[in-house]
């Protein structure tokens, strides 16, 4: 028996609920080691997070930033 | 620049223009980015960003330094976005995604219909993800944006959006699974 079922593992992963103790961490790690479906689920969450970060990559040279600086500091002065 | 230095907090409180400018410069891209990703139209996102910093400058003397200046800024932003999107403060007790996820598992809690390999979507995942984000409830979307894009810890997000850890967990669970299911559905259709 793997200790935790897949449903519980996915719930903890997706809600960012960190295990309260060493045993909890061990059970999650063990389950992921044994279960390729939950590993794939975890990989999906990671891909989604990374894609979102890339999608709205910080607008460093965005002209909107210049425009906003003007608007913010004009109001201020 | 160490924003947690008590001297820096004091400079913000006293309205030191260089310190205020440092804060604006450091956080303007993050705030604008978050406003855009939260689902506001581009011009709306800029208006909200400006309103957020105007409030910050007006109220800088009230900053007590008990939380990080970033938490304070994002707290103001969060309230501005709530005003712009009236639906932000409502999260349903139950959500369709809860049933969808329930159906993914058998009574023993094992996968009945397992997740698919995401490589299936190749380079088109970004385009699909953008569409799928539109389908999320706004609070779920906001939680997802702060967690994944600003990479904040859950403690800070709870402080910014004034929700409990349990509530935030539910929002993240629903948001991420909503996106997963949406992406899988789009991928399946393409086969």
pLDDT attached to residue B95 = 87
Instruction: Give dist(CA B78, CA B31) in Å, integer.
Output: 10
pLDDT attached to residue A77 = 45
- CB contacts of B172 in chain A (<8 Å) are 14-16
* A45 with B176: Cβ contact below 8 A: yes
Instruction: Give dist(CA B150, CA A74) in Å, integer.
Output: 28
Where chain A has pLDDT below 70, the residues are: 1-2, 58-61, 75-77
DSSP state at residue B16: -
Is A46 in the B-facing interface, judged by CB distances under 8 Å?
A: no
What is the secondary structure of B134-180 as a DSSP string?
HTS-HHHHHHHIIIIIS---HHHHHHHHT--HHHHHHHHHHHHHHHH
pLDDT attached to residue B89 = 61
With beta carbons less than 8 A apart as the criterion, state whether B57 and A72 touch.
Answer: yes
**Dihedral through CA B103, CA B107, CA B113, CA B118, nearest 10?**
90
Task: Please report the sign of the dihedral spanned by the C-alpha atoms of residue B107, residue B112, residue B117, residue B122.
Answer: negative
With beta carbons less than 8 A apart as the criterion, state whether B169 and A14 touch.
Answer: no
pLDDT attached to residue A59 = 61
Cα first-last separation, chain A? 67
pLDDT tens sequence for chain B (191 residues): 678 888 999 999 999 999 999 999 999 999 999 999 998 998 999 999 999 999 999 999 999 888 899 999 999 999 999 888 776 666 777 789 999 999 999 999 999 999 988 764 556 888 889 899 999 998 999 999 999 999 999 999 999 999 999 999 999 999 999 999 999 988 744 44
DSSP state at residue A60: T
Q: How distant is the Cα of B148 from the closest Cα of chain A, in angstroms?
A: 5
- CB contacts of A20 in chain B (<8 Å) are none
Is residue B6 packed enough to be buried (19+ CB in 10 Å), middle (13-18) or exposed (0-12)?
exposed
Instruction: Give dist(CA B162, CA B64) in Å, integer.
Output: 18
Is B36 in the A-facing interface, judged by CB distances under 8 Å?
A: yes
pLDDT attached to residue A56 = 77
- CB contacts of A5 in chain B (<8 Å) are 105, 108-110
Alpha-carbon Rg for chain B, nearest whole angstrom, is 19
For residue B148, CA distances in Å to A17, A55, B35, B173, B175 come to: 15, 12, 14, 13, 11
- CB contacts of B19 in chain A (<8 Å) are none
Stated pTM of the model: 0.90
- CB contacts of B183 in chain A (<8 Å) are 44, 48
Chain B residue with Cα closest to A46:
B148
- Picking from B112, B156, B173, B184 by the largest number of A CB atoms within 10 A of its own CB, the best residue to mutate is B173
pLDDT attached to residue A76 = 46
Q: How distant is the Cα of B170 from the closest Cα of chain A, in angstroms?
A: 6
**Dihedral through CA A40, CA A51, CA B174, CA B189, nearest 10?**
-70
Cα angle: B9, vertex B12, B17; to 5 degrees: 145
Is B35 in the A-facing interface, judged by CB distances under 8 Å?
A: no
Instruction: Give dist(CA B64, CA B139) in Å, integer.
Output: 28
Longest dimension (CA), chain A: 67
Instruction: Give dist(CA A39, CA A30) in Å, integer.
Output: 11
């Amino acid at each position: 028996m793997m200790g935790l079922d897949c449903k519980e593992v996915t719930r903890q992963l997706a809600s960012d609920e960190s295990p309260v103790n060493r045993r909890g961490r061990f059970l999650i790690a063990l389950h992921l080691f044994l279960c390729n479906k939950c590993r794939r689920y975890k990989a999906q969450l990671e891909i989604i997070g990374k894609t979102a970060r890339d999608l709205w990559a910080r607008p460093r040279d965005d002209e909107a930033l210049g425009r906003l600086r003007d608007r913010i500091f004009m109001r201020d002065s | 620049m160490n924003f947690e230095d008590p001297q820096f907090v004091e400079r913000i409180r006293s309205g030191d223009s260089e310190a205020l400018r440092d804060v604006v410069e450091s956080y303007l891209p993050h705030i604008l980015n978050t406003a855009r990703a939260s689902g506001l139209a581009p011009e709306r996102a800029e208006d909200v960003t400006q309103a957020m910093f105007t409030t910050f400058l007006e109220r800088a003397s009230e900053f007590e330094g008990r939380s990080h200046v970033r938490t304070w800024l994002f707290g103001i932003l969060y309230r501005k976005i709530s005003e712009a999107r009236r639906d932000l403060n409502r999260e349903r007790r139950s959500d369709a995604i809860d049933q969808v996820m329930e159906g993914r598992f058998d009574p023993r809690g094992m996968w009945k219909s397992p997740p698919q390999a995401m490589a299936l979507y190749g380079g088109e995942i970004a385009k699909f993800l953008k569409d799928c984000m539109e389908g999320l409830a706004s609070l779920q979307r906001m939680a997802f944006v702060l967690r994944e894009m600003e990479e904040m810890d859950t403690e800070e997000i709870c402080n910014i959006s004034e929700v409990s850890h349990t509530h935030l967990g539910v929002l993240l669970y629903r948001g991420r699974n909503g996106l997963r299911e949406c992406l899988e559905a789009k991928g399946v259709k393409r086969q």
